[in-house]
A and B are shown apart, each in its own frame.
Chain A
Amino acid sequence: MTAMTDVAFLLLTFFILTAQFRAQDAATIETPSSISGIKVPDKNIMTIGLDREGKVYFGIDNQQERIETLENIGAAKGITFTPKEKKEFALMSNFGMPIAQLKSYLNLPKEQQAKIKQPGIPTDSTGAAPTNELKEWVYNSRKANNDLRIALKGDNLAKFPAFKDVLATLQAQNINKFNLITGTEAPPAGWTND
């Protein structure tokens, strides 16, 4: 039994050390799969999510940059956030709501936050309208970190027009290169990468 216990605890140590925890996401997104073998980078990445109803979510990987982004956008929109709200915001891996609702959302207790159905970040088809808030988030997060790469994470069932709006928003800011996050699937037999 000693040997088994030893192995068990060795495995336990291994899994504890290698585990990477995913923070709770604002929406469940089932991505399509592709044969592409490029891995999504861990750092310097901003993720724009698109759920099956076409609602847009936004997230940055680094907590410090989340706070900076919030400060930047708050300054641009004339909203000031308290240190407590900023701290709360830093803990959100992604979110999807107009900035006007953000302040009251951050002040809610955790249990109530989970209950709220997030309406998505407003976008539009031209990508430059004043109501388009996604462009503000993208712009201000790039101000916080200029090296941010953009990953789009769309749901299988999201309709194309919703994706087009996101694309238009990015193109309007002259961002022409981004990654689409997909699952991994095996290429057909005999396929070689060249």
Chain B
Amino acid sequence: MAEINTGGGGGKHDGGKVRSKKASTRVDMTPMVDLGFLLITFFILATTLSKPSSMTLNVPDKTEKVETEPIKASNVMTIFLGKDNKAHYIFGKAANEDPKLETVSIGYDMRKAIQESSRKVPADKFVVVIKPTKESTYRNMVDLLDEMAITKTKRYALVDQLTPDEKKLLKDKANLDV
């Protein structure tokens, strides 16, 4: 690229006529190309390549009280989001019926647990209740909502209040003070 233009001049010939020196028509483009590539690099780096996506979240109207039929505990999987990306869940029993509290890490294990539980009850009856505790992070909540989309669980609820029974259960079995 950094060529030196030597040709183009008339020069003296042996015994020939003296010609006027012809100026070179070639322009040194090196600085321009350098600048061009610098700008390309800048714009490539400054461009946001992947636009963020968004998930919609619809929450029930608080002012509107709709009387609904209580759901049977045998169809409900309640997932408590604990600390350190761990989740605890009970399935098939209410918190006061001495249920088995399982602990899984949020991710693949959680997904497997949801899928296994959903197979045990009729598809349209399966309900997941997600209860984030104060120890859990926003990421855990989004992950769980995402699991709902992945496992195609149509009926789920995000509930932020724990009943006294559930608090006791978590304290006794998971050593989680919430």
Chain A positions within 8 Å of B, measured between CB atoms, are 1, 4-5, 8-9, 11-12, 15-16, 18-22, 31-32, 34-40, 50, 151-152, 154-164, 167, 171-172, 174, 176-184, 187-188, 191, 194
1-55 of chain B: CB within 8 A of chain A: 1, 29, 32-33, 36-37, 39-40, 43-44, 46-48, 50-55
Taking a contact as CB atoms under 8 Å apart, the answer to whether A34 and B55 are in contact is: yes
| Interfacial chain A residues near B58, Cβ < 8 Å | 176-177
Provide the bound-state CA to CA distance between A30 and B61, in Å: 29
The 7 closest A-B pairs by CB, nearest first: A15-B43, A179-B54, A36-B55, A154-B138, A156-B139, A158-B138, A32-B139
Partner of A161, one of B29, B39, B134: B134
**B160 and A164 contacting across the interface, CB-CB below 8 Å:** yes
Judge if B165 is at the interface, Cβ distance under 8 Å.
no
Assuming the A-B contacts A38-B53, A38-B54, A40-B52, are A5 and B36 also in contact, with contact meaning beta carbons closer than 8 angstroms in the complex? yes
A-B contact pairs, 16 of them (CB 8 A): A5-B33, A16-B39, A16-B43, A19-B47, A32-B139, A36-B53, A36-B146, A36-B149, A160-B81, A160-B133, A160-B138, A177-B56, A177-B59, A178-B57, A182-B52, A183-B53
The prevalent SS among residues of B at the interface is mixed
**A8/B36 in contact, CB under 8 A:** yes
Interface size class of B (residues with CB under 8 A): 35 or more
State whether A50 and B138 are in contact (beta carbons under 8 Å apart), knowing that A20-B47, A40-B53, A183-B53 are contacts in the complex: yes
Other A-B contacts than A15-B47, A158-B139, A180-B142, 6 sampled, CB-CB below 8 A, are: A11-B40, A36-B53, A157-B138, A160-B136, A160-B141, A181-B54
